[in-house]
Amino acid sequence: MIKIAIIGASGYTGGELLRLLRHHPNMEVTVITSRQNSGKSVLEVFPHLRGAYDDLTFEEPNYADIKGRVHGAFTALPHGASVEAVSVLSMGAAGASAKDSQNNISKDNIMPVVDLSADFRFNNIATYEATYALHTKPNLLEKAVYGLPEMYRDKIKDANIVGNPGCYPTGAILGLYPLLKKGLIKTDGIIVDSKSGVTGAGRVSSPLTHFPEIAEGLHAYKVGNHRHAPEIEENLTTAASKEITITFTPHLIPINRGILTTIYAEIKEETSLDEVLNTFSNIYADEPFVRILPSGVIPNTAWVRGSNFIDIGAVVVEKTKRLVIVTAIDNLVKGAAGQAIQNMNLILGLPEETGLTDLPLFP
Amino acid sequence: MIKIAIIGASGYTGGELLRLLRHHPNMEVTVITSRQNSGKSVLEVFPHLRGAYDDLTFEEPNYADIKGRVHGAFTALPHGASVEAVSVLSMGAAGASAKDSQNNISKDNIMPVVDLSADFRFNNIATYEATYALHTKPNLLEKAVYGLPEMYRDKIKDANIVGNPGCYPTGAILGLYPLLKKGLIKTDGIIVDSKSGVTGAGRVSSPLTHFPEIAEGLHAYKVGNHRHAPEIEENLTTAASKEITITFTPHLIPINRGILTTIYAEIKEETSLDEVLNTFSNIYADEPFVRILPSGVIPNTAWVRGSNFIDIGAVVVEKTKRLVIVTAIDNLVKGAAGQAIQNMNLILGLPEETGLTDLPLFP
Amino acid sequence: MIKIAIIGASGYTGGELLRLLRHHPNMEVTVITSRQNSGKSVLEVFPHLRGAYDDLTFEEPNYADIKGRVHGAFTALPHGASVEAVSVLSMGAAGASAKDSQNNISKDNIMPVVDLSADFRFNNIATYEATYALHTKPNLLEKAVYGLPEMYRDKIKDANIVGNPGCYPTGAILGLYPLLKKGLIKTDGIIVDSKSGVTGAGRVSSPLTHFPEIAEGLHAYKVGNHRHAPEIEENLTTAASKEITITFTPHLIPINRGILTTIYAEIKEETSLDEVLNTFSNIYADEPFVRILPSGVIPNTAWVRGSNFIDIGAVVVEKTKRLVIVTAIDNLVKGAAGQAIQNMNLILGLPEETGLTDLPLFP
Amino acid sequence: MIKIAIIGASGYTGGELLRLLRHHPNMEVTVITSRQNSGKSVLEVFPHLRGAYDDLTFEEPNYADIKGRVHGAFTALPHGASVEAVSVLSMGAAGASAKDSQNNISKDNIMPVVDLSADFRFNNIATYEATYALHTKPNLLEKAVYGLPEMYRDKIKDANIVGNPGCYPTGAILGLYPLLKKGLIKTDGIIVDSKSGVTGAGRVSSPLTHFPEIAEGLHAYKVGNHRHAPEIEENLTTAASKEITITFTPHLIPINRGILTTIYAEIKEETSLDEVLNTFSNIYADEPFVRILPSGVIPNTAWVRGSNFIDIGAVVVEKTKRLVIVTAIDNLVKGAAGQAIQNMNLILGLPEETGLTDLPLFP
C-alpha cells in the first residue's frame, strides 16, 4: 500500500479525502495533521467516519518527520502555508518515493504532492502574486503542473507537484476548453455565472456562513473580483492560444454541495448546437468523469452529488447568437478531493478512476 | 371600504393577497373563487390565515354575479382563462365602480381589474400569441396597461385593466430600465441570469417540484426559451427606444421565496459605477419600493423577504468593461401580489404604499 | 410616542423588535445599543431594514444616560449582563415614566423594562442559581413577573420588570397549562420533545451553527439538561399547584424560524379529546394570539411564521392512554420579540395586540 | 454473477438499489420494471446514474417471464401489489435458484425475494389486515421472515421471502430491542418520537410534499395512527417476550434523507447509563452496521447519510428516571435499500457487508 499523508485534514476536503481513500485499493492514509485538532481522533472531528479510522489521530504538522513516513501527500492548507509544506514534503528522502515503491521509476526520490491550495495553480507567478501574495518558492511553482487531467493529463503523469484546481475553475474551464480549443465561440465577452453550495466556503465558521444568514436566501459576492477568475483566465488562454478575460460572478446558494456554472459566450455564425455537443463528446470521449448531456437536458448539481463527475449541457439561443453552457460538479469531489485523488492516481501510474467510482447520491 | 374579489384565490398569490389586504385600510376582500376548492373556507386552504378570514368561503367563479358584488378584482388564473374573467369583470355595471365610490371619478362604470396572468402583459399582441396562445380579446388587451409602476405609473392611474408583470420581468426590467433610458450601456448582448425560489412555480404540485427533487440541488431550466423573455424584451425596448433582445436563463433554487437577477451588460467606455448608481438613485428617487444599495453592497433575497421592496446593486468589472447589476425581490410580493396591490392603489387613487409597508422578515 | 430603548439590539431578537415596532402606533425606538456594533447604523447590521431606521445608530450601553432619554426598554443581553442593565434602567428618574406619559399612572417613576434574558424568569432564586449563576440582584428578581400573558396577565399589567419567557418554555407551558390547571392529565411522566429552528441559537456564529454542519441534518442536544427545563417546570408547578418535573429534549432542525413542541402526557381515564380541546378553547377563549386547532388538524411551524400566534392541536392515543399535544410558534416572535412587545403593551396599558397583528408569512 | 430483478424500480428505493448494487461483486441488476416508466432507460428516470446502466430499460412487470431470467428479486411496490409479485417470483423454476448457482444449496428451486412493501412484515396476519388490508396470500406470509438482521439473522439466512422493515421501525426497534430483551426498562409508557426526511414519502409527488409546503416548516402527522406503529410493537413484543404497546408520533422535516428517532422509556431503578450503553455494545458487538456512541455523544442524521449505519446514543435523565435513546439512520439505506441488500446477502450466504461499505457522505 502507498502510505499517504493529509496535511490540514480537519476541513471538509480532508474529510472527503478520508472518505474516498478508505476503499482505495492502493493508497492508505497513515498520517493526518491539524494544528487545531492535534491529538484528537478522526471520530472526534468527523463523527460520520466512526469505525473507519478509529486509530488514526491528528498530529502536529512536522513535515520533515512526516516525509519519512509516507509515500505521498495531499496538502490542504491556506495559501502561503501550503507552499511551505509542499517545499519540505516534495523533497523526498531515498526510499520514500511512492513511484519507486510502485513501479521502480524514481525521479530523484521526490515525493508526489497534490496541493489543494492556490499555491501551485498558476503558471504565471505574477498572476499568482497579484491575486494572492508573494510566492516564496518560485522555482517549485515552475515545476508544478495544474491538476486538471482533462487538459493536462500527460504533464500530470510526469509531475511531482500538482496544483489541484479551484472548485469554480473546474466547473468553468471544463465547460469552455473544447470550444475555445476548436474555435467555436468568440473569445470576447465570456460570462461565467457560478452558483455554489456553502461547503465551498470551508469548515471554519464565520458570521457570513452562520446557518440563518444563508438559509432561505441567495446572493452574489465578490462580483468581478473573486480570486478564481485569474485562474480560469490563465487556463482559457491556454485553451484558446490567445489572451482570454472573463466576467465572473459567484453566488452562494443554501445547499451543502454543488456548483452550477452557467456560461455565456457568443457563438460563431456558422456553429450549431450539434457541433458544440459533438465537440464536447469528441474531446471528452475517453474521459471517465465527464458526462455530456444530450440536447435538451440541462445539468443539476443533485445528479453529481458525492461523485467525481462533471455534467455538461448546452443550449444555443438563436435570436441572440449566444451559447449557454451549464456545468455541474460536486465542489468537494470533482472540485477538490476527488480530483486530487484523480491526480495522485495519474502521478502514481494507477488507473485514473481508482477509488472514484462511487455513483452520485440522489436525492 | 372598497370590496374586492380575488379570482383564483387558492394559490400562493391568492394567499399573499389575502395576507397583505387583511390590514389594508381601504380594501376588503369579500369574494374569493376557486373551482377546485369551492365550498371550502379560507382556513382549510390557508391554515396560516386562521382567525383572519374564518367566514370567507371559496366559491365557484361566476363572474357576472361577482361583478355586481364588488368594486374591484384581482384575477390570478392561468393564461387564457384570465382573459375571459377579466372581460366580464371589467365591464362593470352602474354603481359598481370603485373609483366612483372612492373619489367620484367614474370611468364609464368600468370595474378595475389587476390581472396576474400573462394575458394583459403585452402591448404587442403578436408577441403574446407567439409566446402563449391566441388572444381572444384583442380590444381589451389594447386598453390594458403593463403594471410596472416605476415605468408606467401615470398610465396605470388611468387604466382599468392592468397586466401585472411576471416575477422574472420585474426583477430584470427594473435593473435595466434607467440604464437603457439614459443610454449608459450598450444595447447588444445583455444577459439576464435569474435564480428563483420554488413558489414561483405555483402551488400545484408536480414531479418537478416534489421536495426531494429540489432540495440540495440546483439547475437551470427553459434556457433561452422561457416565456418571460419576450415580456422583458418588450419593456426594455420601450426603455431604450430601440429593439432589445436578451439572453435569459432562469434557475430553480431550493428556497421558498425570492428571485435574484444577475444582469450583465457592456458598459459604455465613459460610464463609471458612480454614474450608474446615481442614475438609479435619480430615476428611482421617489419610488417607495426601490432601494438602491451603495457601492460594495450586493443584494440578498433574504433582505426583501415578505416585503414589496426591490433591492438593486451594481458592480463594474473594469477589465472586461462589463456592468453587473444584481436585483432582489420577493417573487410573491413585488413579483406578484404586492405589486398587484400597488397597482390597484394607483388605479383607485390611493396612496401607493397603502397596505404594503410591512418590513422584510429576516432571517 | 413612547420612546423605547433596545439594549443589545444587534441580534435576531433586536432585529425583530425593530421590525415589529416600526409600525407600532404608540412606541418608537429611539435608542439601540451594541458593544460590538457601536457606531454602526441599523442598515449596516440589518440590511433588510434599509429605509426604516437609516438615522438610528448603535451606541455604547450607557444605561444611566439612556434612562433619561426613553420611557421604556427591552433588554436582550446574555444572562448576568442583563440583570445589571435592568437594575439601572428600571430605576427611572422623575418624568421618565412611560406609564406617566401614557395614562398619568406613575408608579414611583419606575421605567418599565421587558428583559429577554433568563435573569428575571424565575420566581425561585435557587432554581435560577442552580441553572445559571449567582443572581446579583435578588430583590429585583422578587419584583419581576414572568411574562407569559396567558398565565400572568394581571400581574404583568402591574409590573415594571418582566422576564420574557424562553422560546422553548413558551411552546411547552402553553400546551400544558390548561390541562394541569383543570387536572385532565396525570402529572407524572410528562415528556416534552421540542424541535427548533436555528435562529434560536442566536446570531453569534459558531462551529455548531455553520451552515453545512446543520443543513440536511437533524440532531438532539443537551438531552435532559437544557436550561429551559427548570423554567418550564416552575410554571407547570404553578399551573398544577403541585411539583411537576418533565423530561425535556430539544432538537435542532435546519430551518430558520419555528419551534414545534410535541408533548406526551398520560390522560386520565375519563378524559376525552373533546374535553381537552374544549378546555383549551375555554381557558384561551379571549387570547388574541392562541389558536386552538380542531380535532384532526396538527400544527405546522410554517403556519405561524413571522406572527405572534401559537397554534395548539391535540390527539388522544386510546391504546396507550396518552395525550399528544403539539404546539407551534415562531421562536423569534411569540418565543421572543413579539411576546416582549405583548408584555410591554400590557405594562403600558395599551391594547395587547398593538403592533402585533401581522399575519403569518406562508410559504 | 447473480442476476437480480428490481420490481417497481423507478422510486427512490429503486434508485438506491441501483446505486448500491452497481459495485456489488456478486449481484448484477439485469431486470427493472415500472408500469409508469416502461420503455424508458435508467438515465431518463435517474439522470444521476448516467453512465452506469445506460443499456438497461424499464419493462412491464411480467413476473412469470422475469422469474426465468434472474436469480433473485427486490420488490418495491405498494402493499397489496407486492404480494402478487412475490407470490409469482418466489416460486422459482428449476435452475433459477441463486442459492443454487452460488453454493449448490437449492431449496426446492425457490427464488429469493426481498420485499420492501409492508406485505411480508408481520407475523400476525390479523395485525397486517387491521393495519393495511386483506392479505391475499396468508401461506406466503407464514413463510416470510422479518428482515431485521440484528434480531433475526439466522431466520433470514434460511428464508426465501424476507419482508424488509419499514424505515421508522428500523430506527425504533434497534433502539429498544437490547433493552427490552435484557429487561432494563419498564415496558409501559414507551414513547417513540420520530423525525423523517421527505424521501420517506416516496417519489410520487403530492400537494403535501410540494417543495414550498415543506421547506422552512415542520409538523407532526398521523399522530397515534401511523401504520408503522403495529410493526414496531410486534417486534418489541418479541424482544420483551411480553405485549408492548407504544405511542408513536412521526414528524416531517425539510431534509431529503434521514430519520432521527427519539425514544423515551422509564428506566428501572437500579439501571445506569453505563449498563445501558454496555448492553447495546454487547448485543450489537458483531453488528457491522450498528455504531454505539459513547456517553455524551448524540446521533445526527448527517453522520449516517448515504450509508447503511445506524447510530445509537443514550442519556439518562435522573430526575425523572427516564432513559432517552436517540437513533439515526438514512431512511433510504438502512431504512430501505441498504437493509434489503443486507438481507439478500444473508439469504445468499454472502458476507453480510458486501456492497454496503460506502462511508457516510458529510456534509
Which of C50, C357, C362 is opposite residue B48, by nearest beta carbon?
C362
Tell how far CA D359 is from the center of its chain: 18
Min CA distance, B360 vs chain D (Å)? 16
A167 touches chain B (CB under 8 A): no
- Residue at A360: amino acid letter: P
Q: Report the alpha-carbon angle A40-A45-A49, nearest 5.
A: 115
User: Does residue D58 surpass a pLDDT of 50?
Assistant: yes
Over range B125-136, report the average pLDDT.
97
Q: Which residues in chain C land under pLDDT 50?
A: 93-97, 100, 102-107
User: Does residue D97 surpass a pLDDT of 60?
Assistant: no
Amino acid B84: pLDDT: 93
B touches which chains (3+ CB pairs under 8 A)?
A, C, D
What is the rounded distance in angstroms from the CA atom of residue D318 to the CA atom of residue D324? 11
CB within 8 Å: D360 and A297? no
Amino acid B110: pLDDT: 81
- Catalytic pick among C17, C73, C159, C167: C167
> Which residues of B are known catalytic residues?
167
Residue that the C-alpha cell 468581478 belongs to: A224
Average pLDDT, chain C: 95
DSSP for C154-166 reads: HHHHH-SEEEPPP
Amino acid B109: pLDDT: 64
Alpha-helix runs per DSSP H in chain D? 12-21, 42-45, 63-67, 81-89, 98-103, 125-131, 138-143, 149-157, 167-181, 211-214, 228-240, 273-283, 338-347
Between helices A338-347 and A149-158, what is the axis angle to 10°? 40
Which of C52, C216, C303 is opposite residue B48, by nearest beta carbon?
C303
What is the rounded distance in angstroms from the CA atom of residue C363 to the CA atom of residue D218? 12
Bridge partners of residue A327, in order along the sequence? A261, A312
Among residues 215-234 of chain B, which lie with CB inside 8 Å of chain A?
Answer: 215-221, 223-224
What residues in C contact A254, CB-CB < 8 Å? 211, 215
User: Does residue D203 surpass a pLDDT of 60?
Assistant: yes
Amino acid A319: pLDDT: 95
User: Does residue D108 surpass a pLDDT of 80?
Assistant: no
pLDDT tier at B135 (50, 70, 90 boundaries)? very high
Over range B170-175, report the average pLDDT.
98
pLDDT tier at D105 (50, 70, 90 boundaries)? very low
B209 touches chain D (CB under 8 A): yes
- Which among A103, A71, A61 is positioned nearest to A3, based on CA atoms? A71
Q: What are the strands of the beta sheet with B58-59, ordered from one edge?
A: B58-59, B27-33, B2-7, B72-75, B113-115, B161-163, B145-146
A319 touches chain B (CB under 8 A): yes
C167 is catalytic: yes
What is the rounded distance in angstroms from the CA atom of residue B328 to the CA atom of residue B98? 33
Rg (CA), chain D: 20
Amino acid A92: pLDDT: 52
What residues in A contact C203, CB-CB < 8 Å? 207, 210, 212
Alpha-helix runs per DSSP H in chain A? 12-21, 42-45, 63-67, 81-89, 98-103, 125-131, 138-143, 149-158, 167-181, 211-214, 228-240, 273-283, 338-347
Which of C205, C214, C256 is opposite residue A216, by nearest beta carbon?
C256
CB within 8 Å: D199 and B212? yes
End-to-end CA distance of chain A: 34
What residues in D contact C316, CB-CB < 8 Å? 224
Amino acid A103: pLDDT: 44
Residue that the C-alpha cell 406526551 belongs to: C264
Ramachandran category for residue B355: left, alpha or beta (phi over 0 → left; psi -120 to 50 → alpha)? left
DSSP for D327-360 reads: EEE-TTIIIIIHHHHHHHHHHTT--TTTT--PPP
> What is residue A43's three-state secondary structure?
helix
C160-173 residue pLDDT tens: 999 999 999 999 99
CB within 8 Å: D211 and B206? no
D touches which chains (3+ CB pairs under 8 A)?
A, B, C
C308, closest residue in chain B (CA to CA): B48
Amino acid D73: pLDDT: 98
Q: What are the strands of the beta sheet with B310-317, ordered from one edge?
A: B219-220, B246-252, B190-196, B259-266, B322-329, B310-317, B290-292
Amino acid B331: pLDDT: 98
CB within 8 Å: B212 and D254? no
* Assessment of whether the complete model's pTM goes beyond 0.90: yes
Phi, psi angle pair for C108, to nearest 5° = 55, 35
A49 touches chain D (CB under 8 A): yes
What residues in C contact A256, CB-CB < 8 Å? 211-212, 215-216
B189, closest residue in chain A (CA to CA): A320
Amino acid D109: pLDDT: 65
D297 touches chain C (CB under 8 A): no
B283-295 residue pLDDT tens: 999 999 999 999 9
What residues in A contact D214, CB-CB < 8 Å? none
Amino acid A108: pLDDT: 52
Amino acid B162: pLDDT: 98
CB within 8 Å: B215 and D12? no
- Residue at A173: amino acid letter: I
Containing B259, the helix (H) or strand (E) segment is: strand B259-266
Amino acid C108: pLDDT: 53
DSSP state of C276: H
What is the rounded distance in angstroms from the CA atom of residue D50 to the CA atom of residue D43? 5
Which of A212, A317, A363 is opposite residue B247, by nearest beta carbon?
A317
Q: What is the predicted ipTM?
A: 0.95
B69 touches chain C (CB under 8 A): no
- Which among C107, C171, C120, C180 is positioned nearest to C147, based on CA atoms? C120
CB within 8 Å: A254 and B249? no
D48 touches chain B (CB under 8 A): no
C210, closest residue in chain A (CA to CA): A210
Largest Cα–Cα separation, chain B: 63
> What is residue C360's three-state secondary structure?
coil
A216, closest residue in chain B (CA to CA): B255
Bridge partners of residue C261, in order along the sequence? C194, C327
Min CA distance, C126 vs chain D (Å)? 17
Cα distances from A61 to residues A57, A92, A272, A340, A344, in angstroms, run 12, 16, 53, 20, 21
D106 touches chain B (CB under 8 A): no
* Whether D17 contacts D344, CB under 8 Å: no
Give the mutation candidate from B167, B208, B210, B216 for the D interface (greatest D CB count, under 10 A). B210
Q: Which residues in chain A land under pLDDT 70?
A: 92-109
Which of D198, D212, D256 is opposite residue B198, by nearest beta carbon?
D212
End-to-end CA distance of chain B: 34
B351-362 residue pLDDT tens: 999 999 999 999
Amino acid A177: pLDDT: 98
Between helices D12-21 and D338-347, what is the axis angle to 10°? 50
Q: Exposed, middle or buried by CB within 10 Å (0-12, 13-18, 19+), for A296?
A: exposed
Amino acid C91: pLDDT: 81
